[in-house]
Structure 1
Amino acid sequence: MQKTIQTNKLFVASCLSLLVTSLSFGIRAGILNDQAVRFHLDASELGTIAATAFWGFPLAIIVGGFIVDIIGMKKLLVFAFIFHLLGIVLTIFANGYWTLFASTLLIGIANGTVEATCNPLVASLFTDNKTTKLNHFHLWFPAGIVIGTLVVFGLDSMLAHGISPKPYWISQVEIGVMLIPTLIYGYLFSKLEFPVTERVASGVSTGDMYKALFNPLFGFMILCMFGTAITELFTNQWMDVLFKTVTNNAILILTFVASVQVLGRAFASPIVHKLAPQGVLFISAILSALGIYLLINLHGDAIFLGAIIFGLGVAFFWPCMIGFVAENLPRTGAVGLNLMGGAGMFAVSLYMIFMGGHYDQLTLKYLPAGADLGSYLKAADGTPMAQALAQAKSQAGPDVLHATLIIPIMLIVAFGGLVLYMRSRKKATMAAA
């Protein structure tokens, strides 16, 4: 009984720490344009700042994966709490590009440390039901995005009163909301005792764990993780930027996507048990590609249908990728789980930087010949230059999504092959038995 209570408390605290991670994505996505206006940032600079979280994340998750068995999960989560606290406070008092860069890096390191610790923690707590519980754990990522985007939307509606641009202190209040769950999860983890990881408990040596990382199937899953992470996280993080000129409530598109993700992960158990992780991933790739296609081609309120389809597509990507490795390659241990997450975030960081510059170039293409993008970015609202910039961005956004659509189409092929491979492997195992 005591063990069950301890397990449940650890799981709740883990979910709260992931909530902070996701709030950082949801709230930042909601204030990205405000920061651009406040500090006169172009899309390339915005892309670099947003990507910084994705640099810190893989750095922390990969390093954390290698040391979690050495220093223990509790100490790593103390570090996560400290970095979250510092990053949030620095974001509130940011005064330009470099302070935003540094604060985002700190939050990224904290986010990666949470992921590095809590994925193996959940797998260790629920050894007989890993993929389902990882889906339940990871539902707090889109849940935090829903909460974060609604916080931004709600406070904007209540406090800005139609003022354009809105006062930046409102954005600071919105960022400060993240302090509440940060302090709660820091307190909870400080009071709880942690188990050893599943790999240690099962007696798999460190040497055997490293050997398992060279399994070709693991390498294949790493490559697929690049695609699933970019499809989900790049599109979500840039939703407000890409659709700001398409609808007045662009951030609500992200809210729709994240809400569908929450529901999908909450009711993942029968789907995962029926189709297995690889089957779910195959269907997810199809829906993701269809969702992006609809986001490009639908207009007005109909665009929210595309958001729902896209949300269904990306709902299971991250937890089922982690769950597949936990179930089928358990000897890779915490390092294997964390290399998966780190690879995904690293891919997103590179893609964001590339697409930030590409978005600027596309925007310039739709501006008058010889235009200086910096001058247009500084133009006051309502001026002809500002109106021309908004029109150029509305044309450039779909081009960015067109380029991204290629990725889930490739994943359809990859996961289709994975389904066939796992089916043949199962038949071979049954025949041998």
Structure 2
Amino acid sequence: MLNIQNTKLFWASCLALLVTSLSFGIRAGIMNQLGIDFQLSTSQLGTITAAAFWGFPLAIVVGGFVVDMIGMKRLLVMAFIFHLAGIVLTIFAQGYWSLFLSTLLIGIANGTVEAACNPLVAALYPENKTTRLNHFHLWFPGGIVIGTLLVTLFVQLGLGWKVQVAMMIIPTLIYGYLFSKLDFPVTERVSSGYSSSDMYKAVLSPLFIFMFICMFGTAITELFTGQWIGLLLKNVTDNAILLLTLTTGIMVIGRGFAEPVVHRLAPQGVLLLSAIFAAAGLYMLSTFTGNSIFFAAIIFGIGVCYFWPTMIGFVAENVPKSGALGLNLMGGAGMFAVSIYTMFMGNFYDNLIVKHLPAGASLSVYLKAPENSASAQALANAKNLAGPEILQATLIIPIILIVAFGGLVIYLRSRKKSRSVAL
């Protein structure tokens, strides 16, 4: 009976994460259209996108502090309410501020889902945490695949972005209903008997702080590139949004088959190989052209595939006393870093575009230029040059991660040998 209950809770969690990822996939697909419809600059689009990454760390960190007290079920009811409100407000958006607020609400909902579901999955499967977290998190790229395919299909059918956003209401209502009917366990920290003092000491340990900082880089490499790939490479390929679909498709497959990979390499080995592939893929995306760019997307997808769930799984296995707070601080660190980086790169992207426009040009004038005009063509050419430059600037992050995770592998091997000698 308990296994059936655990299975139902796991699949309801996956459905909640599906809504989270649909919000990323659909928004990535409609960003360009939102810019056109509301006459928004790239900087404004960057700020709107960043709102989701602000709401997420706010919710996941607050959730990490209160989940042991109020329970995971109450958090998920709150996530349902925020998701529903954010989706409806997006559909009826009138401009920049309503889009900003709706995205912020969806970000808060997304963070609340992870604040409850990461510790829930760890509590349901205490003997196999990293693998099961990978299985849970495959629904994030899975939802992005579904979302981007829906965007592509609806565009072909002539259906607007409001219909695309409205599609998220269906899985939201389903997961809200399922969670209302199920009973939840206590978090793993509570069931293990670790005190709050143990938890706070654990999140201040050197190993946790190291992983916390590395989470900045893994999240930016995966999520910033994923959210912006259609925008940055739109003028390099006619199928830019399919690059995101291909990348996330690779991530779904990889996370689905995570068990043998994690058991063979250990989480730290997986992270090191991931950083190597991510750096190679990002370099290829910024330099390849034509059909070869799809090969680059595959390499990049392999690279970022295991980042997020394996970072959380590593902490769950190696710093268990950090409990739900530790897992949620990791997620909050990742999303906060992406929000700051997205805002910074939005301004940087606008500046790069201006640099590639005729001298003395005003970006706002070019954004309002009629389609097929000389000004519109000049703007397209400027974006064509600026997009890959953003990816090349981001490449330094996975290169730093290669060094960091290489050091982590060496450290853990030496620690294991020292313990063996002591025994």
- The answer to whether TM tops 0.5 is yes
DSSP 3-state at the match of 2:93? coil
| 1:196 aligns to 2:162 (yes or no) | no
Matched, 1:244 2:234: yes
**Aligned equivalents of 1:317, 1:419: Cα separation in 2:** 15
How do residues 414-433 of structure 1 correspond to structure 2 at under 5 angstroms? 414-433=404-423
How much has 1:126 moved relative to structure 2? 0.0
User: Which residues in structure 2 correspond to 1:406-421 (within 5 Å)?
Assistant: 406-421=396-411
TM-score in terms of structure 2 length = 0.99
Counterpart code for 1:312? I
SS of the residue 1:300 aligns to: coil
- Per the alignment, residue 63 of structure 1 pairs with 62
CA distance in 1, matches of 2:270, 2:84: 36
Determine helix, strand or coil for the equivalent of 2:140: helix
Instruction: Give 1:382-397 correspondences, 5 Å limit.
Output: 382-397=372-387
Supply the AA of the counterpart residue of 2:368.
K
C-alpha distance in 2 between matches for 1:180 and 1:430 = 54
Alpha-carbon distance in structure 2 between the residues aligned to 1:4 and 1:198:
17
Q: Deviations over 1:40-72 (max 9, x none)?
A: 111110110000000000000000000000000
Choose from 207, 210, 216 the match for 1:217: 207
- Structure 1 runs of 4+ with >2 Å offset: none
Task: Report the secondary structure of 1:281's partner residue.
Answer: helix
Matches within 5 A, 1:22-421: 22-159=21-158, 170-421=160-411
Normalising to structure 1: TM-score of the pair? 0.97
Equivalent position SS for 2:225: helix
Per-residue Cα deviation, 1:318-370 (whole angstroms, up to 9, x for no partner): 01000000000000000000000000000000000000000000000000011
Per-residue deviation, residues 84-134 of structure 1 (Å, max 9, x unmatched): 000000001101000000000000000000011100000000000000000
Distance of 2:7 and 2:135 partners within structure 1: 13
In structure 1, what is the Cα distance between the partners aligned to 2:154 and 2:291?
23
- What letter corresponds to residue 201 of structure 1 in structure 2? S
Compute the RMSD of aligned alpha carbons: 0.6
Unaligned runs of 5+ in 2: none
Deviates more, 1:295-304 or 1:343-352: 295-304
1:196 partner SS = coil
Aligned residue identity for 1:234: F
2:336, 2:270 → 1: CA distance?
A: 24
Q: Kindly state the Cα deviation for residue 432 of structure 1 after the two structures are TM-superposed.
A: 2.0
Specify the code of the residue in structure 1 equivalent to 2:392.
H
